[in-house]
Structure 1
Amino acid sequence: MTKTALLIVDMVKDFTDPSGLVFYPQNREVLPRIKKVLDKCREHDVLTIFFRHSYRKDKFDQNLVSMRPNCISGTGGDEIDSMLDVDPVKDYVIKKRRYSGFFGTDLDLILRENGIEHLIIVGTKTNCCIRATVTDAYYLTYKVHVVSDCVATNDEVVNQVHLTDIRKYFGQVHTSEELFEMLDKGEL
């Protein structure tokens, strides 16, 4: 096993499916590229962790006070998009209720138990869940690698602003092709 993990952030049906409660076409567009990254990472024995943004049905959640209800457990909206196959033996699936994949989850423990140093991050939304996860990863001293053509939000200007900030302050930003080259050379 390498010292690298792939974090696939919130590629769940409410975000990726046209009938989803908070669907953005950009999320559908990045799915095939994320699938290629997933396949390539599996070729290189990279630990894979899927995040499922998921709120408890009929329970209060502060996050939902100011936003449209979405990703409610039991509705199918919090299910990982079927384009991305989860290996139930090797992969981790972590439910989360906040933007950061670290907040209120056992992500850091899983990463440390597996000797992970580098995080490849893909998914949605660049300005919320990606940014918050990247920031926490930086503070926990992980080496962050965001794949620019495998993250999205509903506004390309906002997407690029956050990728610029991530590159400047928190980690590295690569295209999927650059990432594949790094994996093939054993740099990750």
Structure 2
Amino acid sequence: MTKALISIDYTYDFVADDGLLTAGRPAQAIADQIAEVTREAYDRGDYIFFAIDGHDKGDVFHPETKLFPPHNIKETSGRHLYGPLKKVYDSIGSDSRVFWMDKRHYSAFSGTDLDIRLRERRVDTVILTGVLTDICVLHTAIDAYNFGYQIEVVESAVASLDDARHSFALNHMTQVLGAKIIK
């Protein structure tokens, strides 16, 4: 079994109190755990993908502009990894098993070459971490399911805006996608 951890959108804009589209405390509460899980996956020899939302300044055609304020604008500090995860990335980011991947949509698969890179490495299982459980993590899980990957979600390393949305997404991933929730 070959695994890849996909760290989704754990950036300043989504996590910091003054981030442009922040999940705030729920996202901040997983800071140490997401860093630890990422480091453990790296130490195990798993591939690591940082799938990070990246929007163009002033892009009025992107569908999210109707739903959310501008966020994770390319070449801004809002796209920087947040907290201890940034330190982990700084220490492993130059390794050939670690990838930074810009994404434009909720899913890390949509409009990226993630599926190709995973298949080249014979990955059969994806481990999901990051924010938001009910948006980008869930949409990535749905696409992973549709592409035939086994899915693991680290419960203590994903967060949403509130408990109800978080619980719904975890339940959906287990009951509908067959994901394994790692406690």
The two structures share one fold, judged by TM-score above 0.5:
yes
Tell me if 1:19 matches 2:18: yes
Instruction: Please give the residue correspondences for 1:102-181 in structure 2 after superposition, counting only pairs within 5 Å.
Output: 102-170=109-177, 171-175=179-183
Cα offset for 1:174? 1.3
Give the fraction of aligned pairs with identical amino acids, expressed as a percent.
25
Q: Give the drift of 1:88.
A: 2.2
Distance in 1, Cα, partners of 2:28 & 2:13 = 11
How far residue 33 of structure 1 moved from its aligned partner, in angstroms, is 0.3
Measure, in 2, the Cα distance between the counterparts of 1:89 and 1:40: 15
Q: Distance in 2 between matches of 1:82 and 1:57?
A: 24
The TM-score with structure 2 as length reference comes to 0.91
Letter in 2 for 1:3: T
Taking the aligned partners of 2:49 and 2:84, their CA distance within structure 1 comes to 15
SS in 2 for 1:70: coil
Q: Deviations over 1:25-52 (max 9, x none)?
A: 1111111101110111112101000011
Q: 1:59 Cα deviation (Å)? A: 2.8
| In structure 1, C-alpha distance between the alignment counterparts of 2:66 and 2:165, rounded to whole Å | 23
Deviations for 1:116-169, whole angstroms, at most 9, x for unmatched residues? 001010100011101100000001000000111111101111101110111112
Q: Which amino acid aligns with 1:51?
A: A
Where 2:156 maps in the other structure, the secondary structure is strand
Separation in structure 2 between the aligned mates of residue 157 and residue 66 of structure 1, nearest angstrom: 20
CA distance in 1, matches of 2:161, 2:114: 26
Partner SS state of residue 82, structure 2: coil
**1:89 corresponding residue in structure 2:** 95
Query: What are the Cα deviations for residues 1-24 of structure 1, in whole angstroms up to 9, with x where unaligned?
Result: x61000000001101222211122
* Cα distance between partner residues in 2 of 1:75 and 1:81: 13
Distance in 2 (CA, whole Å) between partners of 1:46 and 1:74 is: 29
Matching residue of 1:10: 9
Q: Distance in 2 between matches of 1:165 and 1:68?
A: 27
Count residues in correspondence.
174
Other structure's SS at 1:77 match: helix
2:94 & 2:176 partners in 1: Cα distance? 35
- Cα separation, 2, equivalents of 1:120 and 1:52: 16
Q: Give the distance between the partners of 1:157 and 1:113, measured in 2 at CA.
A: 37
